[in-house]
Structure formats: C-alpha cells, structure tokens
Structure 1
C-alpha cells in the first residue's frame, strides 16, 4: 500500500511539474506577450490539477505538496515515516517532471534557472497563495465535500496565478523543481529558500484560519 501511495505522489508531482514547465516553455515559443504566456501556463495547470487530484486522490490522497503532507502529519493522518516518504516522492517526482519538460523542448535536462524572484512583495504573494490553498483543502474536508476538492484546488491555483505577485508556486517540491528550468516558469535556486519559508508561513496561517473558523466555542456554538 505504501509503495502505491509513494508512486501516486511521485507520478502526480512529476506530471504536475512537467505541465507547469512544459506549458511555460510552449507559451514563450508561441507568444512574446507575457499576459498570454501566463494564461497558457495557467490553463494547462488548472486542467492537469483537476485530472490528477480526481484520479490519484483514492490512491495517495493526491497531496503533490509537502505543505499538505506536513499538515496531514500534524493531524495524525500520516505517520512520520510516511510523511518523509511523501516528501521524497514529491521532490524527486517534481524534479523528474522538470527534466522531462526540458528535454521535450530540446533544453538540457538540468537547465538551472537564472530567473531571480526576490522581494517582500513576492514573498507576501506566496504567503497568500499557500494560506488559501491549505484553508480550502482542509475546510472542504471538514465540510464533507471532499469530492469537490479537485475543482476547488484547481480554481484557487488558477485564480492565484493571476492575483498573486508571485504567480502562486505554493508548493516547496514544485518550487525546487522549477529551479531546474531556465524558462518562463523557472526560479533561480538562490530564491528558493525564501519562497519555501513564505510557503510554510502561509500554510501555518491557512491552517490556523481553518481551525479558528471550524472550532466550537465554549458554549458549543
């Protein structure tokens, strides 16, 4: 069972990153307009997220994101060992996905990004994107509408691509993987640690918001 979950997270994260990176490269090949490039990147990501979460949720839970797995561990839904396995699967899968996308477009398999993404405004964007993602997932679970999570997550990420300054990475494994491509969707490795720190802060805030809204008051209301 663990092997299937590991494989589900590996394949899911690999496919997600291959889509993000591949559609980013294709977009820049097709258009010099950054707005159109972002739209192409967004549409491809939204569609693949819906597909992957729908199909792989029954197998692995379809986390594809260390933030989600870490909170699942805190909620005692995963053991420490399973959480580490998930982290490994997500990071390795994401890295492979980036390399596959690079190779599909005749780039070097590992093509370190030179796209510096620095600044407090971008980090705030990551806090917002990550907080919203975590809040949506766990409040949907709490409300018993798990089957709507594929649509809800895809919709949030699609919207956050456009309304956050960082274009919504919201995922440490994907952030690491995107440092391997010097393309539209890339991020220079030196920018990765700050992005991941912002994502962790956002996840903590999102989960705190979820707990606050769903906890019962002393009066039971």
Structure 2
C-alpha cells in the first residue's frame, strides 16, 4: 500500500491535534459552566469527553498519518525506528511537530470562539511544582510505552480505545491530570478556562513530558527489544512512511 504524501499526513496531524485540543478545552469550558461549584464533576465531564474524542480522532486520522497528535510520540517513533528505518525520518518528525503545535493553538482558539471566551486572553492557571512535573513524567512514559508495546505485539489496531482509556484514567491517577503532550500543553495556554495552563508553567510541563517520553522509550525497548521493527505502525497501523534506502 502506498503511503499518503507528507502534505496529507501533515494536514491530518494538524486537524487531528486541533480537534483534540478543541475537545479538551471545549469540554472543560462546558464542564465549568454546567457544574460551577463541583471541580470533581468538572474533571469527570472533561475526562469523559476526552476519552471519547481521542478514540474517535485516532480512528479517523490514524490510517493517514498514524494519529500521533503529539510531538513526543513522533520523536519516539523516530528514535525507536531509526536503526531499522521503519519510523519517521528526522525531517518528518520536525514537520509533524510543527503541524501539531499549530493545530494545538488553532484548536484552543476554535473552542474559545464556540463558547464565546475571549480569544486574545491567555490562561492564568498556574500549574507548577515537582508533584505536577512527576505526574507528567508518569503520564507520558505510560502513554509512549503503551503505544509502542501495542505496535510491537501486533495489537496496534487496539490503539484507539487503549490510548483513549489510558488518557482518561491518567486524568485521575496523575497529579497533573495528564497533559502528556507538548502540543496540547501549548494549545491550552490560549484559553483562560478550566483546561488552561499559564504560559509560565509550560516549560516545566514540556520538559517533564520529554523526560517521560525517554523513560517510556527505554521501558518499551527493554521489554520489547525488536520494537523498532514496528515503529511504522504507531499509533495506528498505516502504510510505510519511510523509504528503505
């Protein structure tokens, strides 16, 4: 099967990431308005929408781009597949990451417009400190390990429900509510709402996500030494994106 050209894959990553952030931010705004006095219920509503939305988006865009929607996942794809040349190339990772970051910002803006939230106002919710950073390390490490373990064991088709379920659970078992994604983190800066994160908190979160990604790569490489052979199947099995030369 011929792989979709890079432009189509980048459009899929941009639109998919934008819609993911729209789901996260939009459901956060709705939850805040529907349950203004119950933060726990707000989180339940937000996490439920994210589980369902992420699952659908992976199924929709996975066959085109692999449905990474996450620079850490794209970088892990390259890192694990570079020896066997089965994953993204370095240039493709950079392109994917750029598309994902732009998509994250556009998704937050779209949610703001739909819910009549001031578009030019940045988030003011401070999220910082070792406990939250540790939560991001744990969330991102588990996400990367799950994705590549499924690919390596021939169960990549289960990625949509499995990834959705993991992120939904991680909303609750991590102190950070599991951003686990630099593009989503940056996007959430652009909405001063329940789901927002203040600009000054982004660097710590992104660094923790990078560390978590490396931990996840190390774990899955140890548990599945031949994981690189399946790097091209992440997140959803899709046509080979890299030439064998």
Task: Tell me whether the two structures share a fold, i.e. TM-score over 0.5.
Answer: yes
Q: How does 1:118-157 map to 2 (within 5 A)?
A: 118-157=128-167
**Structure 1 length-normalised TM:** 0.96
Match in the other structure for 2:51: 46
Q: What TM-score comes out, normalization by structure 2 length?
A: 0.87
Quote the offset at 1:111 in angstroms: 2.1
Q: CA RMSD in A?
A: 0.9
Corresponding residue for residue 111 of structure 1: 121
**2:62 corresponds to:** 57
Q: 2:176 aligns with which of 166, 169, 188?
A: 166
Runs of 4 or more above 3 Å deviation: none
Select the structure with the greater relative contact order (CA < 8 A; seq sep ≥ 6). Answer: 2
The residue aligned with 1:177 is 187
CA distance in 2, matches of 1:176, 1:155: 23
Which residue of 1 is the match for residue 212 of structure 2? 202
Q: Report Cα offsets for 1:74-113 as digits up to 9, x if no partner.
A: 2231112211110111000110000010111111223201
- The equivalent of 1:98 in structure 2 is 108
More helix by share: 1
Q: Is residue 77 of structure 2 the alignment partner of residue 72 of structure 1?
A: yes
Report how far residue 137 of structure 1 moved: 0.2
Whole-angstrom distance in 2 between the partners of 1:43 and 1:133? 17
Aligned residue in 2 for 1:5: 9
Gaps of 5+ in 1: 217-221
